[in-house]
Amino acid sequence: MNRYVQYMYSYPHKTAYRPLHDVNMRDYMENLAGEGHGLYLHLPFCESKCGYCNLFSVAGCGGAQRDAYLDVLPRQMEQYREILPDDTVFGDFTIGGGTPLLLDVRQLERVFRDVRAYMPLRKDCQIIIETAPKQTDREKVRLLKEAGVTRVSMGIQSFDEGELSWLGRFHDGRRAKEAAEILMDAEFACVNFDFIYGLPGQTAESLSCSLERAMAFSPDEIFLYPLYIKHGVRLEKDGKAALDSDHAFRLYQRGASFLKEHGYAQISMRRFVKRRGSEGADGLRTEFRECGFTGALSLGCGGRSYLGRLHACTPYRTTRQGALAEIEAYLGREDFLTVTHGILLSDEEIRRRYVIRHLLIRPGIAKKAYRQSFGNEVTEDFLILRDWIEAGWLEEKRYQSNGEGPGYQEDSAFLSLTEEGLGLSDYIGPQLISAEIRRKMLEWERMNGQENNLLQGEPEKL
């Protein structure tokens, strides 16, 4: 079994998006009414491109190019603000990339100032930002604290010098340690470290050693990411071997066991959260928020807006030339309300998105919430869930909860992945992709010469 088919971080994948005609954001902004929605700013600039990265990001852009990008943001935000519902309040604001802290202090100050001037952020808005060790210094971290940042996620990937070199990372273990110290000294509400497993030659001992060094800082969360080598990335061009499923899974098991032994609860295949005194025996927080229908508005170039049935973004580009072309188009754009690329979800795809978003993260799918939202039992709409229950990958559990949203109550019944099921998330999730979305994804991969990324297996049928 190949356990590592695809990371289902959102559904549908951007490779299923296509050109759209006669679609305007005005007709979908009502999906951002009220609270509970997210604001995302994409800063697609990096100092260098990591060997495994196929994200929408570019290296080699100077300060003047970044300034030109920031010059456009107020024009985009002003157009969005004019059509936002009067009661819209964004509960979280995420700055991703790229490497956001590649911006200098003046540029970062400008970002926070402009966003607060144009966008309705909740008073206690959760502000999240990504960083990398080389770009993390005390002056920028102090600015983040003053700007109200609540969560910082840093991609360390490894403390092992040989592994960092193999991955094409441009920091060493010493710099990662210094950056970790700076972040922890700042006392953010949440600090997360990312690590990668599955490198050829990586051992359980070397992974445990990196995690042991992370324990010295007691981060609030740790993410363990399997190494995927996609078409066109530098590791593939250098002839590096693709991920070995059995080897990677053994490392995953060791890493997950290590973190749980050191007081971290596993929330998903990748996410491990430090247990706190008010949480149950499995480490889950006592309040769960139903997350199937909240919306998100994206700023900049390369991020996605989720507005009910409408998912919109610039075309997905994995090459430097393609990303630069989209950035250049963004710089000259005058109309940000006409949607030219994305997807309009059918009722079936909305159900699939809901199931995927909940199933792969504990506590899982609230059965009553699904029934109230879609008028049927989830195991009747998705018969494959019964197979996974029989296989021991999925189980019904009850959690004491003060959760919010339809169907939540004390002692709610959830369909939750078992420990074995969590470890198979990248095998289970892709089986929920519909035939139509799968066809579009395969079409995109063939058109872009990425046949070695083709999804395996058959889609689940309704």
44-48, 115-119, 297-301: which range is least confident on average?
Answer: 44-48
SS3 325: helix
The pLDDT value recorded for residue 389 is 98
| Contact between residue 43 and residue 300 where contact means Cβ atoms under 8 Å apart | yes
145-154, 286-295, 412-421: which range is least confident on average?
Answer: 286-295
DSSP 8-state class, residue 289:
B
pLDDT band, residue 405 (cuts 50/70/90)? low
Cα separation, 158 vs 162, in Å, equals 9
The pLDDT value recorded for residue 191 is 98
Task: Quote the percentage of the chain above a pLDDT of 90.
Answer: 78
Cα separation, 101 vs 239, in Å, equals 31
The pLDDT value recorded for residue 398 is 85
Cα separation, 428 vs 360, in Å, equals 9
Q: What integer best gives the mean pLDDT of the chain?
A: 90
Encoded amino acid at 116, one letter: R
The pLDDT value recorded for residue 456 is 45
- At 18-42, the pLDDT tens digits run 999 999 999 999 999 999 899 999 9
The pLDDT value recorded for residue 147 is 97
The pLDDT value recorded for residue 454 is 47
Task: Count CB neighbours of 147 within 10 A.
Answer: 17
On the question of a cis peptide bond just before residue 98, with omega within 30 degrees of 0, the verdict is yes
The pLDDT value recorded for residue 49 is 82
Angle made by CA atoms 313, 147, 304, in degrees to the nearest 5 = 10
Cα separation, 118 vs 112, in Å, equals 10
The pLDDT value recorded for residue 338 is 98
Domain ranges for the chain, please list them.
14-274, 347-430
- At 142-184, the pLDDT tens digits run 999 999 999 999 999 999 999 999 888 888 899 999 999 999 9
Structure tokens at 197: 């497993």
C-alpha 402, offset from chain centre = 26
- At 294-345, the pLDDT tens digits run 899 999 999 999 999 999 999 988 888 999 999 999 999 999 999 999 999 9
| Contact between residue 299 and residue 41 where contact means Cβ atoms under 8 Å apart | yes
Average pLDDT of span 389-415:
75
The pLDDT value recorded for residue 404 is 54
pLDDT band, residue 458 (cuts 50/70/90)? very low
217-226, 343-352, 409-418: which range is least confident on average?
Answer: 409-418
Which element (helix H / strand E) includes 427? helix 425-428
- At 245-275, the pLDDT tens digits run 999 999 999 999 999 999 999 999 999 999 8
The pLDDT value recorded for residue 237 is 78
The pLDDT value recorded for residue 286 is 37
CATH of domain 14-274: 3.20.20.70
Cα separation, 307 vs 37, in Å, equals 10
83-97, 113-127, 400-414, 423-437: which range is least confident on average?
Answer: 400-414
Task: Count CB neighbours of 261 within 10 A.
Answer: 8
Average pLDDT of span 395-402:
75
Predicted TM-score (pTM) of the model is 0.92
Residue 453 pLDDT > 60: no
The pLDDT value recorded for residue 130 is 96
Class of domain 347-430: mainly alpha
